[in-house]
Amino acid sequence: MQKQSALKLVLGHFMVFVLLFAGPAAPAEEARPQQPATAQTSVSDSDLRAFAKAYVDYHKIRQTYEPQVSKAENPKEKEKIQKEGNAKVKQALEKHGLTAQSYNRLFTAVNGNATLRQKALKFIDQERTQS
């Protein structure tokens, strides 16, 4: 149970990172209310595997860029580092066939369904051991 809570917090951080670095949403997307995740949300194992791979890649990127951002001495330098991190996150998502929106859809589904969360944890653990 503690592992699930930790994943939820970490995934929440990832979602925020993706939203910050992915740029502003289109106006139509901003106005659209978020749909609550339900048990009927259809998420395939291949979707969860892509989600897990993107999650692991993100953490590698974060380990590189987060310290650089916090050490940045001025706003321009910080912005440059954030843009570089953004590009890396976007590439990682694209490499696994995801966009910020599709990742966030998966995030919502995983956090709203205990079975999906367990599967996601399993795939994340597998991906970490393979990396």
Residue-by-residue pLDDT tens, the chain, 131 positions? 555 544 554 555 455 454 444 443 333 333 334 444 444 458 999 999 999 999 999 889 999 999 999 999 999 999 999 999 999 999 999 999 999 999 989 989 998 999 999 999 999 999 999 97
pLDDT for the residue 107: 87
Which sequence spans correspond to the domains of the chain? 2-23+43-130
pLDDT for the residue 131: 72
Burial class (CB in 10 A: 0-12, 13-18, 19+), 103: buried
What is the C-alpha separation between 117 and 111, in angstroms, rounded?
A: 6
Query: Residue 126 in contact with residue 50, Cβ under 8 Å?
Result: no
pLDDT for the residue 12: 52
The residue behind tokens 């890396």 is 88
